[in-house]
Amino acid sequence: MSTTLKRLWLICLIAILSGCGDWFSTANSKTKNNKKSTHVTEVVSEQDFNTMVLKSDKPVVVDFWATWCGACKTMLPIFSKLAGEMNKDYKFVSIDIDKAKGLANKYGVTAIPTFLFFDGGQKKGQIVGGQSEAAFKKAIEDNLKQAATKSGTTSATAPTA
């Protein structure tokens, strides 16, 4: 194999592994896996954020993302799937940082994807970067457990003395 071909192969492999491999595809990018779930609300203004996140009656998972971000595209089907599965306990919100730069700056988002967890109008946690579905679900559940315990809605009972 020639050196040039080896380099091209390596570039392609890196692009695929980093989540940017969709530019190799000739298929329509609006496949089922690239659509946002109907359980995800898109926020584009600080007023929307205040209403949908800070004044929410249940904990909120906020996804800060961008259309040009490969890792964000990789997380989209996971975020959408979990939004559908967990929408009874959590509200799921997405924010395109190119449309809402002020919110990204306000919450210190310096890398994407960034997922923030809010409860009672307060930021309770944060994870940055791509996650496996299992790891992302665990992060949500860990934050949900804290929120449920705080609000007294957990089914677990404390041991009696």
Query: CB count, 10 Å around CB of 81?
Result: 16
CB 89 within 8 A of CB 74: no
On the question of a cis peptide bond just before residue 113, with omega within 30 degrees of 0, the verdict is yes
Candidate list 52, 69, 83, 144, residue with the active-site label = 69
Candidate list 53, 71, 72, 97, residue with the active-site label = 72
Report which of 90, 104, 94, 93 is spatially closest to residue 140, judged by C-alpha positions: 90
Cα–Cα separations (whole angstroms), residue 76 to 34, 155, 156, 161? 6, 31, 32, 46
12 labelled catalytic? no
CB 76 within 8 A of CB 66: no
What positions carry a catalytic annotation?
Answer: 69, 72
